[in-house]
Structure 1
Amino acid sequence: MQATTTPSRPRPGERIMAAINRDPQTAEHATRNDALLAAATTVLGVALALFTDSGRRPDALGWALLLAAQVPLVWRRRRPLLVLAAIGALVVPYHALGNAPAPPTPASYVALYTVAVTGRPLRTVLTGLTVLTVALTVMVTISAHQALELLRISGWIVAVLFFGVDVRYYRQYVAAITERAERAERTREEEARRRVAEERLRIARDLHDLLAHTITLIGVQTSVAAHVLHADPDRLDRTAVAKALDDIADTCRTARGELRTTLEVLRDQGATDVRGPLPGLHGLPDLADAARAAGAAVDLTVRADGVPPAVGAAAYRIVQEALTNAVRHGGRDDLTVRVLVYEEGDALRVEVTDDGAGAGSGQPGFGLVGMRERARSVGGTLEAGPLPDRGFAVRAVLPREGTA
């Protein structure tokens, strides 16, 4: 039975920091939380009115104004300036009646903090100056003593406003850090998807080159064996049949080995590099021998040394596909294929020409596309097309310092 683990609850400090980092205008359950906040400021205001001696206790109208000043806090996130104006409109007559000045301060500070944390600093400064100016004007007309008291506590008003501005900048900083982290994560995911797509394309090319080349050679060698068997059954050339079957067996073994290597690389999930051993120019004679076994006369010339592995692998695959197409579409028993690989300047040049019938007009495959992709993978180019008189030519230019 699998044990289930319950997620640990966040610590109080983590919950407080999450509340500070959260944008107040997009937070979940905003109205419910603000209603609870209004209830808390109401309890605090009532306690200050009942248990402080800073002034006389409110009368019935004073209590009504004090309690009514808490209600706008429910909508403080939606209309912070309007909420502050509504609270001010209720607090001013409360103070005009000579009630204790302390009870309305919790709601007033919350409204000021909301304006500072949701608005721009310039708006916050203008709002603070307006609040202080209006409050001093009202207090001077009511009582000089209360005006001096307001000047004494004005530092708290400024502190609340600056605290709100600081929290606003901190949230913007956290949001910028989070956005950069998310952008970096998206970049990593896109890079991973790109690498997966490139690897899938590379595997598709490798499998196409391997299987197309092998199947073509097996098909030609099987045709040779069948021709020998049916040409003159009374005078059966057992040596020719045995050689054709041996060639088929050798081709199958080679293909099975390459396919097994590819599958082993794909199954090795812990490998840092999923590429297997790269073929190179040293494998071109084997390709020529395989094409000769299929009945083509191959003239191979290689004049290159010290070619980078990636460039050599691209040249190998291009020659392999070109020979496969020549054998498949040559249409002649005396097909001749000329393979020339040489260095010229800072590039490796590959030329494969034949005197056959050229590419067939049937359903197009992926051979030419794959060869062009092989050339582009090392920063090279490839041209392929029929020759003027007869035959087909493939020419590729591969920079020695190949760049994808």
Structure 2
Amino acid sequence: MMPVQAPTTPSATWSRHAERYMAAINRDPLTAPHALRNDALLAVLAAALAVALALLVDDGRRPDALGWVLLLVSHVPLVWRRRRPVLVLLTVVACVFPYHFLGYAHTAATLAAYVALYTVAVTGRALRTVLVGIGVITLSVGVMLTISAHEALGLLKASGWVVAVLFLGVDVRFYRRYVASIVERAERAERTRDQEARRRVAEERLRIAQDLHDLLAHSITLIGVQTSVAAHVLSADPERLDREAVAKALDDIAETCRSARGELRTTLEVLREDGPPEGRGPLPGLDGLPDLAETARLAGARVEQTVRIRQAPPAVGAAAYRIVQEALTNAVRHAGPEPAVRVELDERQGVLHLAVRDDGTGPAPGGTPGFGLVGMRERARSVGGTLDAGPRTAGGFEVTAVLPMTTTGERNG
């Protein structure tokens, strides 16, 4: 069965032709495709029209063999008019002046000159166009004065056509530059949108990477500590096995796995191609800090927590939650057995101050650096805050952060 095509209306056909014509007008003549072929066709058409005018218009004697040669040769340089517009104009004038001087039909030879003049105006600066126009009119009138003052006066009156052609070329040139500037601005805006989209994608990927690092590092560290506790209970005194302690350690491992699985599912919601933003689930916040402290206690840390703030913007609360989570994870991993950890959060003058201090030994010297400290600094920077981390003078490790309660996006809004 043949597909049915919609009928083409005259208005649609005219619209397509108009778009094609406007595209040809807007195209830069110096970079247009098939320029040489198109100019050759233009030269042939102009020559044919000149022959017709020489035969039909009676404003001079009909050309003889020499006249026909001068008339036709004057159109040949038009083939290269875009490459050397001034040289083409001079060549056309060199053929046209003898033609006019010998009194052949004058109208027939004007078409090639007008095309050459238009090309000079549309491809060059306005100053060059003005100088060329003055030079052509002055030279033409001067030559005609040697023939007849009456002919010179008639040519001076007809020089308005020369000015009109030059102004047309200048006007088209400025119009093309205007269209090119609009296109350039549109392309620049498109590039800006693409860069903004890539930036947002990169930020989202970084956020996901940070969330995964914080979640997995915290959960795996706790599971490792709890597994070590269960293994120690099993191997300490096999004959007097403390089944209750082993069961509690295994329950803690299972609970940690369930919590990690749920939070991992929430974090990975952003990777769903058709998932709406509200499907990502709520951001972790300050209300989750007690659970972090309790989880660290189950891993053996002695955590004391002081929170003198109830509410914070979601982004700030999420940043504080992740910083505390990573700091507790590092304390459990690097501070030694049963470290004492103190977590403090309070608000002063619209700024959230956060500190996590432990009395442990800190990371082993020469160890492989991870992404934890980098991630915490990125968390703080994402809400316009700062973070410092390093060994304490009295021993142990300290993480401090200052987070504005008004995020950057809210301040700009």
Please tell me the TM-score bracket, short chain as reference: over 0.9
Return the offset for 1:385: 1.0
**C-alpha distance 46-105 of structure 1, shift in aligned 2 (>3 A):** same
Q: 2:76 aligns with which of 60, 71, 74?
A: 71
Structure 2 residues not aligned, in runs of 5+: 6-11
Q: 1:173 aligns with which of 141, 156, 178?
A: 178
SS in 2 for 1:104: helix
Aligned to 1:396: 401
Distance 1:357 1:306 in 2: 33
**C-alpha distance 270-20 of structure 1, shift in aligned 2 (>3 A):** farther
Q: Which range moved further: 355-364 or 215-224?
A: 355-364
Distance 2:32 2:230 in 1: 79
2:356 maps to amino acid: V
Aligned to 1:122: 127
Q: 2:26 aligns with which of 21, 44, 57?
A: 21
Aligned to 1:382: 387
Q: 2:303 aligns with which of 294, 298, 301?
A: 298
CA contact 1:357–1:390 (8 Å) conserved in 2: yes
Distance 1:242 1:184 in 2: 62
Return the offset for 1:275: 5.7
Aligned to 2:236: 231
Return the offset for 1:326: 0.4
**C-alpha distance 48-273 of structure 1, shift in aligned 2 (>3 A):** farther
Return the offset for 1:390: 2.5
Return the offset for 1:79: 1.3
2:106 pairs with 1:83: no
Distance 1:182 1:273 in 2: 33
Return the offset for 1:205: 0.2
Distance 2:350 2:21 in 1: 64
- List per-residue Cα deviations over 1:140-174 (Å, max 9, x = no partner): 22134432432342222111111111101100100
Aligned to 2:8: none
Q: 1:215 aligns with which of 212, 220, 237?
A: 220
Aligned to 1:12: 17
SS in 1 for 2:341: strand
TM score, norm. by length of structure 2: 0.92
2:342 pairs with 1:338: yes
Q: 2:51 aligns with which of 31, 43, 46?
A: 46
Distance 1:271 1:311 in 2: 22
Identity %: 71
Q: Which range moved further: 48-57 or 226-235?
A: 48-57
Distance 2:269 2:283 in 1: 14
CA contact 1:321–1:367 (8 Å) conserved in 2: yes
Distance 1:250 1:64 in 2: 101
2:120 maps to amino acid: V
2:352 maps to amino acid: L
SS in 2 for 1:66: helix
Distance 1:141 1:350 in 2: 98
1:49 maps to amino acid: A
Q: Which range moved further: 240-249 or 357-366?
A: 357-366
1:393 maps to amino acid: E
CA contact 2:270–2:277 (8 Å) conserved in 1: no
Distance 2:276 2:78 in 1: 60
2:364 pairs with 1:360: yes
- List per-residue Cα deviations over 1:344-367 (Å, max 9, x = no partner): 222111111111111123211100
Return the offset for 1:260: 1.0
- Pairing of 1:86-125 with structure 2 (within 5 A): 86-125=91-130
Return the offset for 1:273: 7.0
2:251 maps to amino acid: D
Return the offset for 1:271: 2.8
Aligned to 1:324: 329
Q: 2:269 aligns with which of 232, 245, 264?
A: 264
2:94 maps to amino acid: A
Distance 1:273 1:235 in 2: 53
Structure 1 residues not aligned, in runs of 5+: none
CA contact 1:68–1:90 (8 Å) conserved in 2: yes
CA contact 2:380–2:402 (8 Å) conserved in 1: yes
- List per-residue Cα deviations over 1:42-83 (Å, max 9, x = no partner): 111111112222221111111111111011111111111111
- List per-residue Cα deviations over 1:115-136 (Å, max 9, x = no partner): 1111122221221111111111
SS in 2 for 1:146: helix
Q: Which range moved further: 233-242 or 136-145?
A: 136-145
Return the offset for 1:215: 0.4
Return the offset for 1:91: 0.6
SS in 2 for 1:290: helix
Distance 1:177 1:273 in 2: 39
CA contact 1:297–1:336 (8 Å) conserved in 2: yes
Q: 2:143 aligns with which of 138, 141, 147?
A: 138
SS in 1 for 2:108: coil
SS in 2 for 1:11: helix
TM score, norm. by length of structure 1: 0.94
1:312 maps to amino acid: G
CA contact 1:266–1:274 (8 Å) conserved in 2: no
Aligned to 2:289: 284
SS in 1 for 2:390: strand
Aligned to 1:372: 377
CA contact 2:283–2:318 (8 Å) conserved in 1: yes
SS in 2 for 1:358: coil
CA contact 1:84–1:111 (8 Å) conserved in 2: yes
Distance 2:17 2:112 in 1: 24
- List per-residue Cα deviations over 1:92-115 (Å, max 9, x = no partner): 111111101011111111001011
Distance 1:50 1:104 in 2: 12
**C-alpha distance 162-270 of structure 1, shift in aligned 2 (>3 A):** farther
